[in-house]
A and B are shown apart, each in its own frame.
With several copies, the nearest count.
Chain A
Amino acid sequence: MTDSPIQTITWEGKVAVASIAGDIDLHRSAALQQGLLGLLDEQPQKVVVDLSAVPYMDSSGVASLVKLLSRTRKLGVALVLLSPSPKVRSILEITRLDSVFTITDSKQEATA
C-alpha cells in the first residue's frame, strides 16, 4: 500500500485514463494528488480517474479529487470519475460531492 496509488495511465487520443488502486487515505492521498495534477502537464482534453480498484477512500482522498477538479475546471479539461466502489460512492454522497463530479460506471461513456 505504500506503492504509488496510480497503477497505470493510458491514453486514448487526448483522453488520459488514470487507474487508481488500493485504499486512499492520509498515507497515500498526497501521492495521488501529485500524480493526478502532474498528468495535467501532458495537456489532456479529458481525464478519466478509474476508481474501480479503490476499495476505500477517506476525506484526504476526496480532497485530492476536489483539488484536481478545480484545476481541471480552470484549464477547461473534462474530468470523469469511473466506477467508484460502494464505499467510495458513499463518501462522495456524504460530502455531497456526488453531484459535483461527473461519475459513470461505463468505461465507454467515460472515455467518449
Chain B
Amino acid sequence: MGAETPRTNNDPAGDDGTFMSESAPMNRTLRMEIQSDPAELKSVRVEVESFARALGMTEHAAGKVVLAMDEALTNIIRHAYDGAADRPIEIDLAVRDACLHVTLRDYGRQAPRATIHSRDLSDVRPGGLGVHIMTKCMDSVDYQPAPDGGTTLIMTKSLRDSDNERTNGPCHD
C-alpha cells in the first residue's frame, strides 16, 4: 500500500452502469506468490474460490475460474518449469470494469504461442485437455511472453454474466 494520490471512484458500475447492487465490489485484488509445487494447488483453489464467491460470482462460475486457474498452473508446473517444484509463480486476481482479470506470471521456458492450443477432442487420449478447458471456462485466455523471460498469462471472466458458457465474453483487453 503505497502513498499514491487518493483516487475517488464514483463509478462502481463500470462504464455502463449495469453492474450489480449498490455494494458491488469495485476494486478488489487477490495476490498470491506460490512455488511451482503441485501440493500448492489445493490452497490456491480454496483461496480463489472464496475470493470469487465473495465477489458475488455463483458457485458454478467460481468453479470455472478455479478450474481454469488450476489447469493453467498445472501447465506452468509441467511445461514452463518441467516439473521443478521450487520455482516462483505469481498469481493476481483483480476486478476491473465488472470483469475478473486473472494474471499468472512464471519465469520458465516460453512456449511458441502456436503450441498452446486445444486439440481435437474426438481423439480420445489422455492429456492435451488443459488449454481446451481454460478457453471453455473463461471469456478470454491470452499468453504473452515477457521480454525479460517467462510468460504472463491473462484470463478474464465477466462478473455481469458469469454463468454464461460463451467463450468470447466482453472481457477482452
Contacts and interface: CB of A to CB of B under 8 A. Distances in A.
Contact of B41 (A26, A90, A96): A26
Contacts of B125: 66, 70
B126 A95 contact: no
B78 to A, nearest CB: 7
Contacts of A62: 126, 129
A23 B74 contact: no
Interface stretch (B9-17, B63-71, B146-154, B156-164): B63-71
Contact of A56 (B23, B45, B78, B122): B45
Contacts of A100: 124
Contacts of B71: 58-59
B136 to A, nearest CB: 5
A112 interface: no
A66 B129 CA distance: 11
A90 B77 contact: no
B112 interface: no
B124 to A, nearest CB: 5
Given A59-B129, A95-B121, A95-B132, A25 B137 contact: no
B22 A25 contact: no
A1 B127 contact: no
B133 A94 contact: yes
Contact of A2 (B22, B41, B67, B74): B22
A90 B63 CA distance: 10
A26 B124 contact: no
Given A25-B41, A70-B126, 11 more contacts: A25-B45, A25-B74, A26-B41, A27-B39, A27-B41, A27-B42, A56-B45, A58-B74, A63-B126, A95-B133, A96-B121
Q: Which 10 A-B pairs have the closest CB atoms?
A: A63-B126, A27-B38, A26-B38, A59-B129, A66-B126, A67-B126, A26-B74, A96-B121, A58-B70, A25-B41
Interface of B: 22-23, 38-39, 41-42, 45, 63, 67, 70-71, 74, 77-78, 121-122, 124-127, 129-130, 132-133, 136-137
22 contacts: A2-B22, A2-B39, A23-B42, A26-B38, A26-B74, A26-B77, A26-B78, A27-B41, A56-B45, A58-B70, A58-B71, A59-B130, A60-B74, A62-B129, A63-B126, A87-B63, A91-B67, A91-B133, A94-B133, A94-B137, A96-B122, A100-B124
